[in-house]
Structure 1
Amino acid sequence: MIISIAGIGCWGDGLHGWAEAKPVLRGDTPHDRTSLTLPPPTSLPANERRRASQVIRLAMLCAEEACQQAGCHAGDLPAIFASSNGDGFIINRILESLASPAGAVSPSLFHNSVHNAPAGYWMISHKSHQPAVSLGLHDETLPAALLKAAAEAHAEEKPVLFCLYDAPIPGSLGTVRRTRGSFGCALILTPGRDTSLQLALSLKNGRDVRDPFSSLPESLADMARHNPAGQILPLLQAIACGQDQSISLPYGANHMTIALTHAQP
């Protein structure tokens, strides 16, 4: 199955937008892993803007940057939002509230705790009536969600927003599910060979034992290994470097291969 990339959004610790991320991915600029504090999206109404957590802001910033780059109207796109951890900060606050003597949980915390909260905020902000799916599959969230988004773009013959994001989980949960740094990426996927950036996705038997992150600068390789959303960094590096590259990621007992081709004009 072949699809194309029409727009890219990328935000994370030390990666403040796709334009700033490209020289870091190429190794031209050092990666300063400054922690990420994100402004609330201006596209949200005032009430929702105040309630939006850092994870929601991360997802929306990535998605909006990808739409702007692709020249797409955000409200016209079906969307796939994907996260392994969900909003661990909110979940931790809920658990702390439940363990307190009062045991009361803020309605806003509960509202933001569901896995599809970023998709909901996205649809509110852009008045979208398009379908939106939220996926999570532990460390295999990237291949599962990318395959879903690509299949939808291919089958429906229309652009699809793919948005992937993960952030650390504080508290006791974070000692079990360790995640380093915040990172998110969004792609506008179009069917067929619409642009010069083309992806061919395929499922193959067995595991590929090669390290897909070995080409990354050390700090980015660390993010890729310890943030599930960061697994997409080798693909972004290949795009930033203008290189054709094939990347394999575990998917169940098998693996999915993502082959990037820069088509000649």
Structure 2
Amino acid sequence: MSSRLSVYIDGIGLIAPGLNDWPSARQVLAGLQPYHSAKTVIPTPELLPAAERRRASDIVKLTLATSLEAMSQAGVEGKSLPSVFSFSNGDGVNCHSICEMLASEDREISPTRFHNSVHNAAAGYWSIATKTMATSSVLCAFDASFGAGLLDAITQVVIEDTPCILIASDTPYPEPMFTKRPIPDNSSIALVLMAQKSTRSIAQITVSVTDEPAYQFDAAALENLRTAIPSMRSLPLLQLIARHDSGHVMLDYLDGLRLAVEVDPC
């Protein structure tokens, strides 16, 4: 297998502080609109049945919102779409609530809290919403989670010659864990990746591993967003796509390694 892997991006979904969806984010990243940080707005997951909708946590709502935006843009349904979920720490609020209960005299954890505590809970809700029976991978690589998910998803597309959706999301912890893991707000990105170019293809990306330094934004607000939230390590890639530019960018990955991503607009 080549050390350089190429796929096509046919759909993008994005939710982050001050960026409510991909069209608005594209205007900001292309330099057509200024970036103004604001609390993340998470849409209601209308695809879920009412019972599951009431139980859904923020990370579930995030993954559903961005994945549905990306699939709509790509013109695909989730029923037969393999998926890769990559979270830097999972559901912070639910983890905090369970720890509070375990530290109290009443240690009876609710079934909803318990089943939302597993790392693949969002993937489970997603399969319910999309009625998919396709394979799903769920990863965690701390601050390298976007890069790890991107490599996993691209490898599946190239080896299996099949579409795949990547969803990388982050949610904050309340105090006292916030001090140790200070993710400031909810964020999520979804990419629908294809092996072959289509009429809906946005860009071709070619990914390899490098030790060159990662890209940094000149704008302080965007750089703070990139470094504060692991899934937002994707922003330099999205900026090239938003500008409809050919070029390459280095994305943060593991210690001592970065991902070199070449972008060619379609």
SS in 2 for 1:140: helix
Deviation of 1:143 (Å): 1.4
CA distance in 2, matches of 1:162, 1:130: 13
Deviation of 1:193 (Å): 4.4
Asked if 1 retains the 8 angstrom alpha-carbon contact of 2:8 and 2:203, the reply is yes
Per-residue Cα deviation, 1:4-53 (whole angstroms, up to 9, x for no partner) = 00011011121111111111212322323221242331110111000001
Map of 1:209-220 to 2, 5 A cutoff? 209=213, 211-215=214-218, 217-220=219-222
Deviation of 1:256 (Å): 2.0
Match of 1:224 in 2: 226
Deviation of 1:92 (Å): 0.6
Long gaps (5+) in structure 1: none
CA distance in 1, matches of 2:54, 2:202: 39
CA distance in 2, matches of 1:23, 1:146: 24
Does residue 199 (structure 1) correspond to residue 202 (structure 2)? The answer is no
Alignment coverage as a number of residue pairs: 259
Does residue 250 (structure 1) correspond to residue 256 (structure 2)? The answer is no
Identical aligned residues as a percent: 33
SS in 2 for 1:201: strand
Asked if 2 retains the 8 angstrom alpha-carbon contact of 1:37 and 1:54, the reply is no
CA distance in 2, matches of 1:116, 1:63: 15
Deviation of 1:148 (Å): 0.5
SS in 2 for 1:9: strand
Asked if 2 retains the 8 angstrom alpha-carbon contact of 1:40 and 1:52, the reply is no
Asked if 1 retains the 8 angstrom alpha-carbon contact of 2:20 and 2:41, the reply is no
CA distance in 2, matches of 1:134, 1:152: 13
SS in 1 for 2:178: helix
Map of 1:31-180 to 2, 5 A cutoff? 31-180=35-184
Deviation of 1:252 (Å): 4.3
Root-mean-square deviation (CA, aligned residues, Å) is 1.5
Asked if 2 retains the 8 angstrom alpha-carbon contact of 1:208 and 1:250, the reply is no
Match of 1:5 in 2: 9
Deviation of 1:103 (Å): 2.0
CA distance in 1, matches of 2:185, 2:32: 21
Long gaps (5+) in structure 2: none
TM-score of the aligned structures, taking structure 2 as reference length? 0.92
Q: Which runs of 4+ in 1 moved over 4 A?
A: none
TM-score of the aligned structures, taking structure 1 as reference length? 0.93
